[in-house]
Structures are given as structure tokens and as C-alpha cells.
Chain A
Amino acid sequence: MSEVDMAVIKPEMMKSYIWLQTADGLIQQVEQEVAMFCPMICHEVIQKDMGSSKNYAISLPQRVNPAMLSLILDYCRFHQVPGRSNKERKSFDEKFIRMDTKRLCELTSAADSLQLKPLVDLTSRALARIIEGKSPEEIREIFHLPDDLTEEEKLEPLKNTTDDPRIRLLNRLYAKKRKELQERQKLKNIEVEEERVDDRSVDDLLSFINGDNGDSKGIKNSKSKKKNRRRKDQQKNTSANEAIKNHNKEPNGLNQVCHSAEVGQKVRAGVGATSNLHDVEDDIFDNKNEPDDGDIDDEIDPALKEKIDREVEDFARRLNSDWPERMQEILSFGHERKPVHFSLNGNGSLRRYANSEQR
């Protein structure tokens, strides 16, 4: 070519390209500076002199499919430009990882196989944020993992992580109600005013719980008629008693709640589970609260019992549901609600705030 011709050629045409081949056989060419951002590709080019032409295309690891490759190249294309500010890069990253979990997993895997550490860090952190605060059942659902552990194996560590503040609050609520019921039994023959005193103390407790946790179920209980509540408490307490005294294998109120709260959705009652729950229930009778002396009528109307169980399950479900749903439910109860104070962290769960409350 003459010099004039050379001058006419546009700069882009002088760029060099690297040839890449994904595991499915597809070959494509990528600008050199973009592709060289990946250490694995860089290594192949420099050490093995590959990628210079279609016949010598660099074979990418199996975990990199064309869709992921194009995402990764987008990432490289942005970040390999030296002039960008940290703020720009951070902003790009935040937008970049907004994708569904499945693609995020694929991307993490692909980035890892290409040894692209910054992207691996970014995606790993995003996945960690997704996993945090979830129950095993939820994690299995999100990542399509098999449910292949025995009941015992599943429940063991969870049973002991009942330091979860939501469960502790639940335990505290039950313990308080049981104590209150016990007091009522003792003061059966004294005037109604005494009961009112009791009401207030439970209200205090509930508003304290509400102040930290938005326990909508608790509020509803406090506002319902005294008579109904007493009966309800009696049933709840009795069902709790049954669990403790009889080592009942059927799901009952307390079992359900503990399971639901711990496992998230399904109610399971295995042999191992029940004996484990006994320990949990021991925690309920801890320190400040005296154990129930058992002067309670054991007969329960099955329909009422079901109603109670449903309410309790509802309560537990609400504890575990997401913030927007919870807010909607609270708002839908209308005038009965007291103002509640919440603290949100990034993904909408109340866990962190409740943790600080533990002190």
C-alpha cells in the first residue's frame, strides 16, 4: 500500500483482535485490550501464543457459555479503560450485577474460570447478600439445590441458632402469656380490676415487642375481647403444655411455630425434631419465668385448637415474611394498629436491628 492509502485507513481497522472459542464451538473475535483484561486469556496469549487467528482460537473453559462471555466482555470493556473514576466504576458495578440469581450464579462461575478476580469478588458479594438471612428451604429454592439431608441433620444446627431474635421474642411472648395465665388461675376469685392490671403488663410487653419488631399479631391479641383472649391463652398454653408434657408427635401450636420460624415454611415433626424441641422449650422456662404448675383444663375444643394453631402459624409466617408484605398487612388492619417503629437494612429484613436490641 502507498502512504496515502495508509493514511486513509481508519484507526479502528488497525486494532488487533483475539479469537476466542466457547465450549459450544462458537468462535468470535474480541478487541485485544478487552480480552487481555482476563488473566486466563492473557496467559494463553502470552505464554502459548494462542488467539491470533481463527484457527488458533483460545478455547475457553466449559463454564463460560456465549451469554456469559458477552457479559464478562462488557465488564472488561468498561473497566479496562484507565481513565474512569472510582465512583464511575462502582456505579457501573452496581448496575451490572442487577440480574436474576441464576444468571448471577453462572456469571460467578464463568468469571472464576477465567480468573477475573474483581468480577468474582463482585458477584460473590452479591450472592452472599442474597443468601444472608434466608432459611435453608429458601436457599434451596433460590439455587435449585436438592433436599437431601435427613431431618436430624437439618434441624440440629437450626435448633441451636434459636438465638435468632424473632424466635426469642416469640418465646418470650409465650412465656409471658403462660405466666399471666398462671396468675389468672391463682387470682380466679378476685375482681376484674386485677385482670386489668395484668392486661396492661402484657400490653407493655407487646408494645415493647412492637416497638422493635412490628409484631402485628401481638397487637391484635391485645385488642381483642378479654374473654376471648383468656380462652385463647388457655388453649395456647394448654397446647404448649401438651407439647412439653406429652412429647406429642403431632404438630401442635408450639411445634408449628418453632418449626415455621426456624425452617421457614413447611411444618415438620420427626422423632428427632420433637426431642430437640424439648430443649428449645426448656429455654422458654428459663430463669425469670417459673414453670407452669399445670392446673389447667386439658380439654380443648378441636375447632378452637385449629383456629389457634392457624393463628399461631399465621403469626410465625408473618414474622418471616418480607417487609413490604408485612407493612401491607399492618396497614390493612387499620385503626387497631399502634404506630410502630422499624429499622431497615439494605434488603429489607429486620434482623440486624433486632440483633442490636438484644443488648
Chain B
Amino acid sequence: MIGEAKVGNEDLNLCFEKLMMVAAGNSEGVKMNGVGITEWKDIPVELLLRIVSLLDDQTAIVASSVCSGWRDAICLGLTQLCLSWCRKNMNNLVLSLAPKFTRLQTLILRQENPQLEDNAVETISKFCHDLQDLDLSKSFKLSDRSLYALAHGCPNLKKLNISGCTSFSDEALAYLTNFCRKLKILNLCGCVKAATDHALQAIGRNCNMLQSLNLGWCDNVGDLGVMSLAYGCHDLRCLDLCGCVRITDDSVIALANECLHLRSLGLYYCRNITDRAMYSLAHSRVKNKGLTWELSMKGRYEDDGLKSLNISQCTALTPSAVQALCDTFPALHTCSGRHSLVMSGCLNLTSVHCACAVQAHRTFNTIFHTAH
């Protein structure tokens, strides 16, 4: 077989043989014009999978119930599935599909209205051990049982989205991190009970490959948690602390010193943040010029440093500190085209501008003056 087959070779051969056997057995269906394949069931599994990958998820599920050849091919080859279009029966659908689609790597179960229950997640954990990307957002009905099941069944998880799952506790989340150590992207937006300092300490201990963490509106998060996170997850690149009102400068200072790859930071509504935090971020960049030299040799200079910062409603900040920050990180922009430094609600920061905005302003002034 040519091309990038995601299925093991022996599985493919097995499927192919099965398809051939079916072809031989069914005298009515086979029409061989001497040589050459003339019947659809004789095509290689890879080709069938390529066609199925072009179908929408609902049709792909229907296709798996057409005949045994297709069923086997799809069950062995399907790696991505999204069931968010279900309005009522998502739970039953997962219960019947998870045992069949054991090679799933990506499973999107985001719901518009809550349908998913613990038994479905337990079934997923039982059968889909290759799962790397799982989206369970807005699953209001799930309890800690699901997290415990996932911990045991899906250790290869790299991306987990449990935003909006308000019933999860921090004990269960901490337990999960102990097993799912490969987590890179974790979304805990709105998980007020789960995202506590205790859980963050566990994450800092266990998930050292973490790159992106969303703690939006988790108001139980405090400095202790964020500092543990900073000390443990040095590869952190995106951190959203929107609505984490208990955070103070200490958290940001820890992040600035420990997480040198930080690209995106959200501090919306973190009223306790003062200029100290801003200066610490700026200084960390200066301090790490040595590191950036190494990176610039690899041609990644532009990638380094903050690219996006949200300090809306951080009313304690003064223009000088924020301007210093803006000057230090060339990727932070206030100009309309690439607005990445967001300062809504900070009325005293209107004078802060990025370099390109200043340039445009200066050019305008020059023209105006030469006219005189």
C-alpha cells in the first residue's frame, strides 16, 4: 500500500483479504471483466478511508453500517470524530460507537444542550486508548467519575477541554494530571470547583509539557497556584487568567521569571495587578537576551516574547509602565491592524502606543509641518 497509512499493515491486509473473500463469496455481486477490479468492494481500505474522510461525521457513521467490509475499514481507520451536531442522543451514540471506533485520536463532544453522562465517558476510556484530543465542553451532567475513568483509560491525552463542566472537583482533576502527563493544552474555563490552587499545584508537578492553560473565570485561583504552575511548567506559552480576581503581582513575576516562552497572557479583570508586574515582564525579556541570541540563530527572534496581552480593567496600571512593556516587546501592538495589547476600561492608558502607531503619527506631523 502506498501513501501514509495510519492503519497497521497487518490490519490493512486483513481487511483487504476480508473484502476479497466477500467478493468471492457473493456470486451475484461480482462481475469480473476478465481482469481488473470492477467492483467497489475490492478497492483498498486506504482509498475507502480517504473517501470517508471527505464525508461529514453523520454520513461516516452511516457508512460504517453499510456492510462488513466498510464497517471494518472505518472502525480501524477512523481517527477523528465530531458529534456536536447531536441534539438528543449523543450519549447513546457514544455508547454504541466508542467500542467500534477504537482508533480514535480526536473526539469532539461539545454539546449545545447537556446530553453526555458518565457512562459514555467511561466507555470511551475503556475502548479508545489512543485518544489524544478530547473536547467535553459544556457537559454539565458529568461528575468526577468521568475524570477518574479518563485518567485510567486515556493516558495519551494531549489536549483536553472541560470548560463549562462545573461539577468536576479539584481532587479528580489532580488525580487525572497524575496519569495524563502528556497534556499540552488544557481548558478549564469556568471550572470553578476544579481549578483551585490544589489542582494547579498538581498540574505544576505532573504536566511539565503544558503549553496552554485557560483558567478563565476560575475565581478560586490564587497566587500559590499560579506560582506552582510557573515553577513546574516552564514551557507555558498561553495562559488565560481572565476573571481570576485573587491574582496579584507575585503570580505575574513568577511567570515572567520562569516561563520564558510565554506568548499570550490574559489578565482581564485582575484588579490587583500593578506596575510591578509590568516591569517584571519587561525585565525578564532584557535578562534573557542571552537566550534570545541562541533563538535568533535559529531564526526565531520574532517568535520570542509576548505577542498578546490583555490588561483590560487593570485600573492600577500607569502609562509609563505599560509603555515600557510595549517598547520591550515588539510584537505587542495597539494599532488597529494588529491589536494585541488590549487595555479596555483603562482610561488612564490611552497614551500608550506601539511603535508603528507612533510612526504613523510622526509621518503625519512631518507632512503637516512641511506644508508650512
Contact = CB atoms under 8 A, between A and B. Distances in A.
B330 interface: no
A106 B38 contact: yes
Given A156-B65, A158-B65, A283 B40 contact: no
A357 to B, nearest CB: 12
Interface stretch (B68-76, B259-267, B289-297): B68-76
Contacts of A92: none
B335 interface: no
Contacts of A63: 36-37
B37 A139 contact: no
Contacts of B22: 146, 148
B85 to A, nearest CB: 7
Contact of B87 (A120, A144, A358): A358
A24 interface: yes
B58 A161 contact: yes
A107 B322 CA distance: 63
A277 B69 CA distance: 26
Contact of B38 (A102, A120, A134, A358): A102
Interface in A100-146: 102, 105-106, 108-109, 112, 115, 120, 124-125, 127-128, 131-136, 139-140, 143-146
Given A148-B22, A160-B89, A162-B89, A136 B97 contact: no
Interface stretch (B47-55, B131-139, B142-150, B340-348): B47-55
B88 interface: yes
Nearest to A115: B2
A148 B51 contact: no
**On chain B, which size bracket covers the interface?**
35 or more
Contact of B51 (A106, A124, A144, A153): A124
B65 A149 contact: yes
B59 interface: yes
B161 to A, nearest CB: 22
Interface string A80-109: 000000000000000000000010011011
B371 interface: no
A156 B62 CA distance: 10
B367 interface: no
Interface in B10-48: 22, 25-26, 29, 33-44, 46-47
A63 B36 CA distance: 5
30 contacts: A22-B36, A23-B35, A24-B35, A24-B36, A102-B38, A105-B40, A106-B37, A112-B43, A112-B44, A120-B47, A124-B47, A128-B52, A131-B51, A132-B55, A135-B62, A139-B62, A144-B39, A144-B40, A144-B41, A145-B41, A149-B66, A156-B65, A157-B93, A157-B96, A160-B89, A160-B93, A161-B61, A161-B89, A162-B89, A168-B88
Interface of A: 22-24, 62-65, 68, 102, 105-106, 108-109, 112, 115, 120, 124-125, 127-128, 131-136, 139-140, 143-149, 153-164, 168, 279, 283, 286, 355, 358
